[in-house]
Amino acid sequence: MKKAELSIKPVPSGDPFLKGTCSICPNVTFVLVGDIAENRQLMQQMFDKHLNEVHGRERQSRRESTKA
């Protein structure tokens, strides 16, 4: 199975926003406006939460189904 990763999309130079997606969940988008360096950290935290809440459950249910 493919590993979920944060994919940050390039934006035109000078645009004050950062856009990212989950590599497995294309409908999950993170968009932040403001300081790019600061927002990269915040976006990573948002993605980490998504990863644990969504993909953590998926990994757990796969482990439980292989034990049965």
pLDDT tens-digit series, residues 35-57:
878 888 999 999 999 999 999 87
The pTM assigned to this predicted structure is 0.75
Name every residue whose Cβ is closer than 8 Å to that of residue 42 and which is 6 or more positions away in sequence: 32
Q: Looking at the predicted structure, is the pLDDT value of residue 63 above 90?
A: no
- Return d(Cα 21, Cα 6) in angstroms, integer: 6
pLDDT for the residue numbered 51: 94
More confident residue, 9 or 28: 28
62: pLDDT confidence band, cut at 50, 70 and 90?
low
Distance CA 27, CA 61 (A): 22
Domain ranges across the chain? 6-67
